[in-house]
């Protein structure tokens, strides 16, 4: 059950990061500058952890995977920063609840995992909840 603590702490960290990103973007900093800050300036904070973990053997598969993953990650973060720059956080953040919808298909093809019979209705409830949040915050919902 320790995962609940990690999930809540992660949600707090991401929401705080989103607030500071929105503030910086509102003061005229470009999205690309925030990309550099998020990735490169986090390096000095992450490097000390190398002393406390066993670094596994990194084979060719690892590097091929990151060759595909890293451009997708950078593009996603750039588009995310653009979205929070252009609209209120209360409208932008609920779209993140669509992540499990995309995972339903991709987890099967990439990892071979299938969702159980309770997961799909749960995911749809979360998606409908985010739609309702956005619908009450804007004129007509997400699709308008």
Record the tokens describing residue 49, joined without a space: 């952890």
Query: Do the Cβ atoms of 81 and 31 come closer than 8 Å?
Result: yes
pLDDT given for residue 138 in this prediction:
57
Of 22-26, 91-95, 136-140, which one has max mean pLDDT? 22-26
Delimit the domains of the chain by residue range. Answer: 1-44, 88-144
Tell me the per-residue pLDDT of 3-23, one tens digit each, with 9 for 90 and over.
Answer: 999 999 999 998 999 999 999
pLDDT given for residue 33 in this prediction:
93
Q: Give the Cα separation of 35 and 135 in Å (integer).
A: 30
Does residue 128 surpass a pLDDT of 60?
A: yes
Model-wide pTM > 0.95: no
Does residue 142 surpass a pLDDT of 60?
A: no
Would the CA dihedral through 125, 141, 82, 34 be positive or negative?
negative
């Amino acid at each position: 059950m320790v995962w609940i603590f990690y999930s809540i702490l992660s949600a707090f960290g991401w929401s705080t990061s989103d607030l500071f990103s929105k503030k910086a973007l509102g003061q005229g900093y470009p999205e690309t500058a925030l990309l550099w800050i998020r990735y490169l300036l986090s390096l000095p904070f992450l490097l000390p952890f190398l002393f406390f973990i066993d670094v596994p053997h990194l084979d060719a598969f690892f590097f091929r995977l990151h060759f595909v993953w890293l451009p997708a990650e950078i593009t996603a973060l750039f588009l995310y920063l653009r979205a929070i720059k252009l609209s209120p956080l209360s409208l932008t953040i609920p779209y993140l609840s669509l992540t499990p919808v995309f995972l339903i298909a991709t987890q099967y093809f990439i990892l071979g995992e299938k969702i159980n019979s309770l997961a799909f209705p749960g995911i749809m409830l979360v998606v409908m909840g985010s739609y309702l949040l956005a619908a009450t915050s804007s004129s007509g919902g997400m699709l308008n």
